Amino acid sequence: MTDLKLVNQDNFLEFVDTFIADSSCIIVGQKGHGKSKLAKHIARALMTSKKTTVQIFDSSLSWLNDFDFIPFQFCADYIEFDAITDSHMLYSIEFEDSQDVNFVVREIIRENYLKRRTLRIAEYMTNKMANTLAETNHKKEDIDTYYIGIIEEAQNFLSTYTLMARENRKWLKIISDCRNLRMSLIFIGQRLADISAKAVERANCYFFGKTISDNDLIKIRRILGSDNKHLIEKIKTLEKGQFLFWDGETACLIDLPEFKPKPHETPQLYFTQKRWFERNLESIWDKELTNEIRFWFTHMQKGLKEAQK
């Protein structure tokens, strides 16, 4: 029977450092339970460490107006956007079709994954060569930052049905390999039943919000093991915003105050998209739409929060 440790505001940073920076996680819980807010706490904690690159993939507009300063890009079929590899980024995914959403997010994460893989191979080859030449003070290439991808609406990527497609099985390889490359992916979804067992077993950390559905409780029981019936009982009674954390050994009750964005801070449009808007504003939209977009764009430079006042 595993003891339940309490994680609150005082020890949350230490918790994130110990358990999250180097693992793949799944956050599940009922609609409105506080999953996105928890992910925001985690993202903020990780962004305070200079050695991480945090990228957030949000297809439900829940971060644009409720998070700290971070560059963001819209990903849509009428706009230019880039897969960025070395900087924090909030990708606001505007595609409607879940296959498009899947494609864009998968390829951006893959870009980061392949870059890290190449670096790792380069490091390996350099070391091998240096050993051969008995050279001792060569400059070693290394992956010195953690990459954390936070992915909303996990069912778009990891449902059993989605993973039947050959291209999508790349997700499983990335989830399995990523820890060796100092990469970790945090998937957020409403029901564990929406996420393929193949993906669930490749993750190594779980956050469970209040769950009452038998279908999900059966799956959670399998993850927690038969000794931990008391944790299952706890999951049934969690309050809004509380989560049970499990990494196969350690169980924690996560009990944080509601996430609040910092005053005067808001995500800001990435500079290449700002330039894209400036270039295209006059040419591609009709006049009425142009005025509306100009208003929105002007305010966007000040931050979306200001615009809503």
Ligand X SMILES: Nc1ncnc2c1ncn2[C@@H]1O[C@H](COP(=O)(O)OP(=O)(O)OP(=O)(O)O)[C@@H](O)[C@H]1O
> Of residues 16, 35, 44, 244, which one binds ligand X by CB under 6 A?
35
- Cβ-Cβ contacts under 8 Å for 213 (sequence gap 6 or more): 191, 193
| Residue among 104, 107, 192, 186 at smallest CA distance from 155 | 192
Q: Which x/- pattern, by CB under 5 A, does the window 58-97 give for Mg ion?
A: ----x-----------------------------------
Tokens of 227: 């000794």
CB of 267 to ligand X, least distance (A): 16
Task: CB nearer to ligand X: give 88 or 210.
Answer: 210
User: How many of the chain's residues bind ligand X (CB under 6 A)?
Assistant: 15
> Of residues 36, 155, 159, 162, which one binds ligand X by CB under 6 A?
36
Check the CA dihedral 105-16-223-204 and report its sign. Answer: positive
> Of residues 83, 217, 256, 281, which one binds ligand X by CB under 6 A?
256
Q: How far apart are CA 300 and CA 268, in angstroms?
A: 7
Longest dimension (CA), the chain: 70
DSSP per residue over 175-198, as a string? HHHGGGGTEEEEEEES-GGGS-HH
Contact of 271 with 260, CB cutoff 8 Å: no
Beta partners for 183? 147
- Cβ-Cβ contacts under 8 Å for 128 (sequence gap 6 or more): none
* Interaction between residue 156 and Mg ion (CB under 5 A): no
CB of 31 to ligand X, least distance (A): 4
> Of residues 36, 59, 168, 228, which one binds Mg ion by CB under 5 A?
36
CB of 217 to ligand X, least distance (A): 18
Task: CB nearer to ligand X: give 226 or 308.
Answer: 308
Tokens of 211: 């769950």
Return the ∠ at Cα 54 (arms to 267 and 27), rounded to 5°: 100
User: How many of the chain's residues bind Mg ion (CB under 5 A)?
Assistant: 2
Q: Which x/- pattern, by CB under 6 A, does the window 197-236 give for ligand X?
A: ----------------------------------------
CB of 241 to Mg ion, least distance (A): 12
> Of residues 21, 33, 104, 245, which one binds ligand X by CB under 6 A?
33
Contact of 252 with 235, CB cutoff 8 Å: no
* Interaction between residue 24 and Mg ion (CB under 5 A): no
From the list Mg ion, ligand X, none, partner contacted by residue 31 (C-beta under 5 to 8 A by kind): ligand X
Q: List residues binding Mg ion (CB under 5 A).
A: 36, 62
Which residue ranges make up the site for ligand X (CB under 6 A)? 29, 31-37, 62, 190, 240-241, 256-258
